[in-house]
Structure 1
Amino acid sequence: MTGHNSCPPSESERVLTPAEQVVQTTRGRIDEIDDQIIGLIEQRRKLSTEIQSARLGAGGTKISYGRENVVIGRYSRELGKPGRVLSLAILEVCRGALDRAARRPSDS
């Protein structure tokens, strides 16, 4: 018997299999894409707030359901039924932008 301690390698020292390498690399890329999508939705929300403010300032309504139907149709055509669900979620995030901006405490 030798005095050799054969502890398994730690998770960070373990060599990944080719499949695990693909999964790790691809998940990293997906995370990057998700970051971009979140950034784009934030940009869309800001633009939507500008439109809502302009429409309300001119005596119009906050929401243009005709425009929302165009957006829903576009997502549905491009992505099918899941695209419709996605468009509704995006519209909901952006639709309330003006309300959230009004409720934000200034310099808390």
Structure 2
Amino acid sequence: MTESQAQSPTGRPADLATSSTAPSSTVTPMTALQTDEAIGELRVEIDAVDAALVELVARRIQISKQVGRLRMAAGGTRLSLAREQAVVARFSAELGETGTSLAMLLLRAGRGRL
């Protein structure tokens, strides 16, 4: 990786992490047009992330339901409380309270009706 390709502590390429569109404690004065353009670019990026998330969540739900069917076919219970607690703990460790809520939503979606 060259110096120009260095990454910031957030894992983003350094040039993106320090660009005028990246959140910063010091804001470079922008015109209204520049601000609107920067916001538009960020919203395009958010839309792309959202599309990827929807795809991943749908895949996660599908896999989770397969696991439940296999567990039941083997004579077990559909759910594993220990596994669910581990998922919640992992999300909570990474994202705090938001992670807890997100993990609970994902688990509920993957379980189907109880």
TM-score by length of 1: 0.72
Structure 1 gap ranges (5+): 1-15, 100-108
- The corresponding residue for 1:70 is 86
Q: Distance in 2 between matches of 1:62 and 1:42?
A: 19
Structure having greater relative contact order (Cα 8 Å, sep ≥ 6): 1
Q: Match for 1:59: what amino acid?
A: G
Give the counterpart of 1:40 among 24, 31, 56.
56
Q: Match for 2:88: what amino acid?
A: I
Give 3-state SS (helix, strand or coil) of 2:83's partner: helix
Give 3-state SS (helix, strand or coil) of 2:78's partner: coil
Q: Which has the larger radius of gyration?
A: 1
Kindly indicate whether residue 98 of structure 2 is the aligned counterpart of residue 82 of structure 1.
Answer: yes
Q: Distance in 2 between matches of 1:95 and 1:39?
A: 18
Structure 2 gap ranges (5+): 1-31
Q: 1:47-89 deviations in whole A, cap 9, x for unaligned?
A: 1111011000011111111100000000000111111011001
Give 3-state SS (helix, strand or coil) of 2:63's partner: helix
- The corresponding residue for 1:58 is 74
TM-score by length of 2: 0.69
Q: Match for 1:34: what amino acid?
A: D
CA RMSD of aligned residues (A): 1.2
Give 3-state SS (helix, strand or coil) of 2:82's partner: helix
Q: Distance in 2 between matches of 1:36 and 1:73?
A: 23
Q: Distance in 2 between matches of 1:82 and 1:71?
A: 13
Q: Distance in 2 between matches of 1:26 and 1:64?
A: 39
